[in-house]
Every structure is written in structure tokens, then in C-alpha cells.
Structure 1
């Protein structure tokens, strides 16, 4: 029940259910000191759920108090998780807006307001650097007045990542993802890959938008603080100007290499209207072909199947074959053809992209630390020389090699007959060669080399051919240095200098819209969504406003209607 009126001379209670007629009314007679019940419908027997969204005492302040300990430990606690927690703890339902307000209130307690978060960012990064040696960070600010600077961009990399990254392959994937908080912006991420094929984030940055200037600044910071003198291969999307930007920072003259994500190029074919799955898969096979002969053969097949796709390749990327085709890579990308692992990291950071800037930095710190702890435990449990996922790649090759015929020409030179082709193989440790280029491009023995290792003339352990990057010891060493907790805000050092203000906030008219142009590379939650249905033609996929049959109804024109 609920109180409808509560006055000095009247008091009324009614049922919270709209279809219930129960009512109690009392009034105070003139000159009396007591109330007299004038209307009462008898016993109230309505069964009302314990939890309901009309509980007036369940305020955002109360919810904030309940979720604050969890929010301190998990900054990415979503609104949905908050609603479920309150349902379990308080046995009541709350609205989405109420949970959102409580979440923002808790974030404000932990890291201050959005505006305060920008001024606290240098303090938090300084404290994190003091707690975790070798951690680096740098900011780039816009000076507006002598005592005031506006935030522009920030770069940070954790000390354990920088120190242990030398145990990972010299391949770095760079990608960007949009931030959806009050001031929006873009997060740039550099990711490597460990010995077991897992994500290994090495650097982060926040900037106002994804453009050439910000990318160049990010890559320069990455080279200065993380990769340093190490010769690396950068894998990125193929967007306008990125080839020149990467070349200026990671010059080929210094031994660096730049490659493109093959899957993004495949998505570019869709943009020009090529949606045939067979054609798109054929293009992907062209890019992943190990041999130049196979590359040319598949390319000729594509020409006969889709001339438009073949022309686009010839006009746009044929001269840059080493950027996207594995056959011309020279072994720099170690068989990594896409930036999918960088995008997977974006999914790992899901739920943190709408946090204040300091909270987002803290979220990356705790997420990466969690991954380090879990993978360090996994490394101690590994008992094989090679990492499990690497062995999963080699086992099918071993099975295939059992059906091959091997002809010996010298103690170290063989010819392998697969039944359809012949492959000359030279066995010389890690300097071995096979015509298929599988070993030269990835550092893992191909099925032809494994066939030679199994012959009675050349009994050899295939582990001696595998590159160091794939061994369990390298995996353990990549997670050997521990993170250390960052003290509470009370202990953060004071930063001398101008106050850091947030960037300019532009108020947009109308309903807020997503700033990201979605394509085939974006991950969407399809489960639980409903398709659009037109009220005019009853077909799915559009609304009445965009109906292609507008003006017609099932074959009858508007003018023919009676």
C-alpha cells in the first residue's frame, strides 16, 4: 500500500495496484484530537512482490553505498550488473536511470568528477610510476593561460610490460577504439603476442581523435619508451596516410617493417560492392599463401571469378604486396595476418570506454595485472617445451607428414613428395629452408620438414628447428615481473605547475549518436535484438519512412484505392 494523503486533518491509504479498489480514509472531526476512520474496505489481501521499482527509500545514494566496494575493485561494473546486485542484495528492482546515477556517484567518489579526473591524472600516473618502476608516461597539453592548460593527449606503458616484452615476438599491432564518456575521444593501443599466442598489451594512449598527427605522436612515444632500439614489425589498418606516418617513425632504413591487416583490406572490398563470400574468401587465401607460385595461381583464379576485385587489387595494393601478402613478407610478421588480437583487447576493455580518464587508466592497470597473474600461474603449470597452442599447430602437420615420401640427396638435403607436389628441403637447424616457405615465414617447421625429421637417415628432434619465441620458458619469462598496487588517493603526490583542465566540450543538438562508423570489423551483440519491421509493407529490415514500396500496398497503387 501507499499513502495518498497525509495532512493535519486527513489521512488516506490506497493499494499500489491500479486495479485494486482497497482504500482506507480517516479524518479528524472538528475540535477533536483523534482521527476517525470513515472508509475502510476490509482486509487487504493483494499479493505484491517483495521487490518493486516503486520503493522510495532505494535511492541512488543507498545504491552507491552498496556498490562502492565493488566499484573500487572493478571500475568497469556495468549498469546491468548493478541492477542484478541490488536485486540480489535488497530484493528490489531499480530502473536503468537510477543504476546509472548510482554508478556515476560511485565513480565520482573514487576518482572525482569528470573535470577533476583530468587534473588528477598526472598525480595518479606519478604514483603508479613510483609503485611500479620502469613505468613511463607523458602528456601533451594545450596552454591557454599561464596558470591553466587543457588536456590534449596522454601516453602510458607499464613497467613489467616494457621489461618483459623482450620475450615476445618483435611484432606490434596498433589499433584505435572510441571512448564514449562525457568528453569522448579515442584510445590508441599497441599490442604484441606472447609465446602461446595470447594478447600482450605494451602501450596505451588517449587523444581527442584518430588522425595522422595523433598516430605519429603515439608511434614516436612507443618507439622512445617501449621498443627503443629493437627492430619491429608494425601491423595496422590500411587507412589514408598511415603508410607515410609509420615510415617516418619506424623507418625501413633502421630495420623496421610495416604490414597491413589482411582482414581490413578484405572489408575494403565490401565497401566497393563486392559481397560474394567466395570471392572474399579467395582474396583472403591469396594474402595467406606461402608460395609466390600459389599467390599468382589464386590471383588468376580471382580474375576469372570477379574482374572488379582483381582490378581493385591491381590498382590499389598490387605494388605494395609485401604489406599484405604473406608470400612477399620475408618472415617479418611471423604469420600474423590481422590485428584481431588488438581488437580482442578492445573487447577486453569493454565497459571501461565510458569511464573518466583517470578511471580508464586505472582500469587498464587492473585488467593487465589480472592477466599477468593468471598467465603466470598458467606458465608454471606447463610441462612441455613448446607452448600448448603451438603444439596444437604442429600436431596436424605431423599427421599430414606421415603420408609423404622422402627422397634423400645428401645428409641435409631432401625432396618430399606429397602425392601432388614435390618440395626440396634443406635441414640446417634454424637456418633450414623449404620451398613452401612455411618455416622461413613463421619460424615453425612445416609438414615437409617434419617428414624429413622422421626418416631413418635423419632422426632429428623438431624442437631444435622452432624459434625461441614459441618455447614455454619464453612464456614464463614474459610474465615474470610483478605489478605492485597503487596507493590510495590520499597518498598521491602533488604536481607543481599549471592546472590541467578537460578539453573543450561541444554540446550537440538532438539525440546523442555514436561517433563510430560501423563496418564488418565491429563486433555487435546480435542476441536479444529485434529486426525492424515496416508497418507499410510488413517486411523486415526497414521502417515505413524508408520503405521502397511507399505509395503502394501489395500491388495496389494509392490512386486505385477505394
Structure 2
């Protein structure tokens, strides 16, 4: 395996001295930004050479792109000027416990059926041929190309006795084609015209797919396109033909997937030119023929790195499978901001969720956030993640996602209500409440109790977790991020990273505007949680115990002790969430203490504003930024892959360690074909004459 590494100057490393996960930064460039000055007592020295294959490298490739004149957007879609669209419409909602996603309606297939005419202009020869093919499918007739020259071609009806003809010529030498002559009246019989279905090739369907939807990633799936083509064109196309049509549409819109790998390193260089402190890396390998092939790619924007230092030290990692030509997996590292919205940190494209890929990814993330006992990592129980985490982040606490655990419980055990019991046990704050719920599980299903006990209660429960999980007991934050990126999963690699850049630019802009307008001392979502805590403790009585300590007794006689000086309560909500519980709020009211003094620093509006102070810019235009020769002359080929046989999967792929639910089989009763009975005594069935 070989790698590429093109650092501009000698890198530096700031060593952690406080044990804090955020007191650590490793930079590719040699110049330290203001926010990364060494703290008192820390040492600064040159970093050892980067790992083999890590790089901020690139290959400059230019390709000729012919712009096609697109037809107007179908009336079924709402169109508004971009200036009237707020950035908040592109943002995702806050996620404190869970969230639901709405499925978009699939529009109808609106096909341009304008017939050819003398003087009609096309952008290229191919566009002219495909445009006429679409017209032939719509009008249900077949034709053939009878004469072809360098600058013209003639189309005739498949029946040699028919008068239908079209002559198309190139307009001077600019590449545009125009219809010079046409005779559109048919004199052939209907049997000849029935061959029109042969013109519905994957290439033609791909142009229909592209021209009518603009962005094929937002268009119907292959199985939906099958139905639309059958209804509008009266053509029965196979699933694989529609799937190939979608791939062709992607290549027409975003460029070839192979070219995208050639441009990936060049794109990273231009992206870093406009986004200071952005970290990128590319890992390659040498095949048997001596060619350099793509293996991994890593991207973390400088604005995300700066903003991440103002958040809670919780890292949520997950992977989502890509559906492009070369497949692969997109690994993500994210967290939550002070307003409970997903905060993306880093993205990596790898060949699969293997131990090597996860270790490489986490080693790059370790450049941003150091290993410390204050750090919490949340993921599913993938064996490769567990191994990679133990190698790169041995001090950090690792928590399992309760959603994946509940799916396994549902798949393994058929006891009704068992998953709900597991959820109640996992979300319990008090140990007494957890023990009570865990005993219920033991009574209901002893095998499930043993299964959860073997996993370790410190991995999946809020009560016994040794670190701080706050409100994050699931990886739904990562699932929310994956859902936002899902539209780009079929795109070439550069286009997918461009999609991520545009998405983050919108998110940062919307949240920067929203946070600057907020006048409260804590974020809006935290304020809602505080109001909920106040409502839950209405009618409770408070009794002072000693300085800053109070005893609170509820309506049903339950007592809790609050210590305002240490920000603790026997209900454990105060300590676990870092948000004052209702008991602490009552105690604060009794002494006139402002609520904001009890809330964690990362929930305050000041930190919220600082989180999104950075701006994420698009990449520099080609030619505006000088690319080092060693990068410009580098050629990176796509990975060697083989498309698996059968229909491509579009449903969710279960994680390793997650037990897929058993398929439901429909039982058909055995009935007699004569009498319709149960068929137990078929030989005695009497058929009336």
C-alpha cells in the first residue's frame, strides 16, 4: 500500500496537559491560528511524519462539459427566487429525544413532446438524436438512421416505402445541430410502427430522467420510474434498464464517476484555499499494474473544527452505505450543539466498515479532538468500531446506541412489551428505578436479561454509564445527518463532498442568524426543557437544610435533596443533563439565584453564537488557485470494484451486530381446488354432475 503526502510546511502538535478532550489540536500547516495558541505549560514541537498515505493532495483534471438547454421546471414544483428562500428552510430541526422524517411526494413524469420542425436547434448531435428518439416514443413509431456524415445525418422511417424523413445538419462548426428538412407524415402500416419500443434505451430514458428533474438524486427511484414510463410512454422497461438510466442521468448531470476520482485531490486543494484550517487526507494503494488507486478520503472543515470546541465532548460516529457506481461507505463524526441540533464534524469515504477503515478514520478525527476520560463516543456495537476505538481512543468512554439494542431485542425475543421495558431501564436516571425496571425484564424474559447483562449495563444505560451522555442515548443524531446526506449517496465522490459543503454552508448561515437574534441567556431548546421541568414539580414544597442545600418534597411524598453549590440532586437529572431539574429550580427561586447560573456553559447563548462564528465557503474556481506540480501531475484511479449480482439494494442495511428481523411468511391454507374445502379428504370430495 502506498500513500501520498504533500504538506506545505512542517506540521505542529499541541500536547494536552489538562486532560480535557478539547485541549488538543494537530494541524497540517505549520502556522498556528490564533485560537490554537499553546496553553501555559504545554509543549510545542514538530509532529512526526504523517501516516503513510495521508495527504492533502490532488490531481488536476479538466473536462469539457457541454451545457444542455434544459426545459422549464414542471408546473407541479413550486419555484421561488433564491433570494426569497431563507437558510432556515434548509436546516434540520433540533433533536432532544427523537425526530420523524417526512417522505417527499414523487412528481409525475412530464415529457416534452414538441415535434421536430425546420430550424429547431439542439446543443449537440447526440442531443438531436435523443430528442427525436423521445418524440418517436411519444408518437409511437420507429425510425432508423440511413445516412451519416461528419456534419449531418438522415433519419428515415423503418419502412422503406414510408415518406417520413428528417435531415439534420451541424450549424457551421460550433457543434450545434439544426433540422434542415423534415417530412413528418407517415404512410406505413401500424405493424411497422409497433417497433417504437426499441428506441426506449437506457440512454434515452437517462436523458428524460435528467431533463425533467434536473437533479436525478431527487427524482423517482428505478421501480417508480418503471411505472411512470409505462403510464406515459406505454413502454415496459425492466428494473435494471431504469436503474442504468438513473446512472446515465447522474453522469450527464454531475460528470463521470471515474473523472471524479481524478479530481478529488485537486478539489481538496481548492477547498482548503478558501477554508483555512480545513483538514483533508487521501489514502491510496498501488495495484498489480502499478497504478495508484483510491482507497480513503477524509474531510473536516476548519469552521466545524473551531465550532466543535464549544460543544459538549460527545462524538457520535456512524456509517451509511453509498449507492454510486463504486459503492463504498460514508463514515461521519458529529455531535449536538447547545440547541440540540446536529453538528457535523468530519466525513470519510472508505471501501467498507472494516477495522482498517474505522481505525484510519478515527486516527484522523484524533487530530481534532484528543483522547481523554472526559470524551464520550456513541455508536452501534459494530465489532470494527469497538476495536478501532480501543486503539485510537482508549481513554474515552464508549456508549452503545439503545435503538440498535432494542432492534436486537425485538428480533431475538418475542415477548410483548419487552422492548419498552428495555427502553425504560436504559433511560432511568436513578439506580433504584433502573434496578426495578431491570427486575421486570428478568421476570418477563430471563434470556433477554442474560443477553443485556452480558453486554454490560455500563454500555447501554444512563445510570451506570461512567462518562457523560447527557440526553444522547441513541445515535439518532448521526441518523439525522445521514438522512440529510442521503440525496447525494448515488453521486460521484466530488459531487457528494460538494453537496455536503453546500449543506453545511446553509446550516451555518441559518444558525448564525438565529443565534445572533436570540435574546435569552440560554438556547431556545434548553429553555423549553427548563419550562418542562418547572411544570413537573408544581405543588412541591421546599425545606432549607443548610447553606445551598435544600430538601424538596413532591405532591406524592417523594423527597429529593438539592445541592446548588455542587449542582447535584438526588433525582440525578441535574448531574446527567447538566440542566437544572425542577427541584433545583425551586431551590434557586428560594434564594433568588438566576437559572442561567445552574446551566452548563455549552447551553448558553454565548457559546451557541461562537459555535457558528466560522463560515464555510465553496471551493476556489479552477485556475484561481495554484496547485503544486506534484499534486497536479498525480493520477488517482477509482478503486477496483465489482457490482454485485441481482437488483441493487435500496433498503436499509443492518449494522454488524444488529440482528435483522425475521421475514414474515404468509401461510396459505391447503384447499381443495374442486370444493374449496380444507383438502383433508380430497379423495372423498364429490363433484356434482
Name the TM tier (shorter chain).
0.7 to 0.9
Q: 1:383 aligns with which of 489, 499, 519?
A: 519
1:235 maps to 378
The whole-number CA distance in structure 2 between the counterparts of 1:55 and 1:515 is: 28
8 A Cα contact 1:168 1:193, kept in partner: yes
The whole-number CA distance in structure 1 between the counterparts of 2:407 and 2:449 is: 15
8 A Cα contact 2:316 2:475, kept in partner: yes
Q: Does 2:398 match 1:258?
A: yes
CA drift at 1:308 = 2.6
CA drift at 1:497 = 5.7
1:108 maps to 251
8 A Cα contact 1:291 1:436, kept in partner: yes
CA drift at 1:12 = 8.2
Write the deviation string for residues 362-403 of structure 1: whole angstroms up to 9, x where unpaired.
111111112111212221222211111111111121122231
8 A Cα contact 2:560 2:570, kept in partner: yes
The whole-number CA distance in structure 1 between the counterparts of 2:643 and 2:668 is: 35
CA drift at 1:103 = 6.0
8 A Cα contact 2:512 2:613, kept in partner: yes
What is the SS of the residue equivalent to 1:370?
helix
Q: Does 2:473 match 1:337?
A: yes
8 A Cα contact 1:63 1:99, kept in partner: no
The whole-number CA distance in structure 2 between the counterparts of 1:169 and 1:104 is: 41
8 A Cα contact 1:385 1:471, kept in partner: yes
2:507 maps to 371
The whole-number CA distance in structure 2 between the counterparts of 1:180 and 1:8 is: 45
Q: 2:427 aligns with which of 288, 295, 298?
A: 288
* Structure with more helix by fraction: 1
**Residues 465 and 330 of structure 1: is their aligned pair in 2 closer, same or farther, counting only changes over 3 Å?**
farther
Q: Does 2:531 match 1:400?
A: no
What is the SS of the residue equivalent to 2:282?
strand
Count of aligned pairs between the two proteins: 484
After the TM superposition, which residues 97-496 of structure 1 pair with which residues of structure 2 at under 5 Å, given as runs? 104=247, 107-108=250-251, 111-144=254-287, 148-224=291-367, 226-228=368-370, 231-240=374-383, 242-252=385-395, 256-276=396-416, 278-314=417-453, 316-317=454-455, 320-330=456-466, 332-418=468-554, 419-428=556-565, 431-455=566-590, 458-489=591-622, 493=627, 495-496=631-632
TM-score, L = length of structure 2: 0.63
CA drift at 1:170 = 0.8
The whole-number CA distance in structure 2 between the counterparts of 1:432 and 1:283 is: 29
RMSD, matched Cα: 3.8
**Residues 201 and 121 of structure 1: is their aligned pair in 2 closer, same or farther, counting only changes over 3 Å?**
same
Q: Does 2:639 match 1:503?
A: yes
Write the deviation string for residues 452-475 of structure 1: whole angstroms up to 9, x where unpaired.
1222xx221121100011112211
The whole-number CA distance in structure 1 between the counterparts of 2:161 and 2:451 is: 84
Moved more, 323-332 or 467-476: 323-332
Write the deviation string for residues 111-153 of structure 1: whole angstroms up to 9, x where unpaired.
5311121121111111111121111111111112685211111
**Residues 59 and 311 of structure 1: is their aligned pair in 2 closer, same or farther, counting only changes over 3 Å?**
closer
8 A Cα contact 2:362 2:392, kept in partner: yes
8 A Cα contact 2:562 2:584, kept in partner: yes
8 A Cα contact 2:488 2:499, kept in partner: yes
Write the deviation string for residues 182-203 of structure 1: whole angstroms up to 9, x where unpaired.
1111111111100100000101
The whole-number CA distance in structure 1 between the counterparts of 2:557 and 2:489 is: 52
The whole-number CA distance in structure 1 between the counterparts of 2:289 and 2:158 is: 59
Q: 2:678 aligns with which of 538, 547, 555?
A: 555
8 A Cα contact 1:406 1:452, kept in partner: yes
Gaps of 5+ in 1: 14-36, 40-53, 523-531, 533-540
CA drift at 1:420 = 3.1
What is the SS of the residue equivalent to 2:486?
coil
Moved more, 417-426 or 186-195: 417-426
8 A Cα contact 2:401 2:475, kept in partner: yes
What is the SS of the residue equivalent to 1:363?
helix
The whole-number CA distance in structure 2 between the counterparts of 1:168 and 1:300 is: 36
8 A Cα contact 1:415 1:422, kept in partner: yes
8 A Cα contact 2:501 2:618, kept in partner: no
What is the SS of the residue equivalent to 2:330?
strand
CA drift at 1:507 = 4.1
CA drift at 1:511 = 3.5
The whole-number CA distance in structure 1 between the counterparts of 2:496 and 2:533 is: 43
Write the deviation string for residues 271-307 of structure 1: whole angstroms up to 9, x where unpaired.
312452x221111111111111211122122222332
TM-score, L = length of structure 1: 0.76
Write the deviation string for residues 62-114 of structure 1: whole angstroms up to 9, x where unpaired.
7588579x55xxx8443479x99xx9xxxx97989999777655643565311
Report which structure shows greater RCO (CA 8 Å, sep ≥6). Answer: 2
What is the SS of the residue equivalent to 2:283?
strand
After the TM superposition, which residues 41-120 of structure 1 pair with which residues of structure 2 at under 5 Å, given as runs? 66=211, 71=215, 76-79=217-220, 104=247, 107-108=250-251, 111-120=254-263
Write the deviation string for residues 217-248 of structure 1: whole angstroms up to 9, x where unpaired.
11111112x21467421001113353343122
**Residues 250 and 6 of structure 1: is their aligned pair in 2 closer, same or farther, counting only changes over 3 Å?**
closer
Moved more, 325-334 or 508-517: 508-517
The whole-number CA distance in structure 2 between the counterparts of 1:463 and 1:197 is: 17
Write the deviation string for residues 436-465 of structure 1: whole angstroms up to 9, x where unpaired.
11111111101111121222xx22112110
8 A Cα contact 1:326 1:335, kept in partner: no
Gaps of 5+ in 2: 1-138, 143-156, 166-185, 189-198
Write the deviation string for residues 298-344 of structure 1: whole angstroms up to 9, x where unpaired.
21222223323222223x12xx3222211122551123111001011
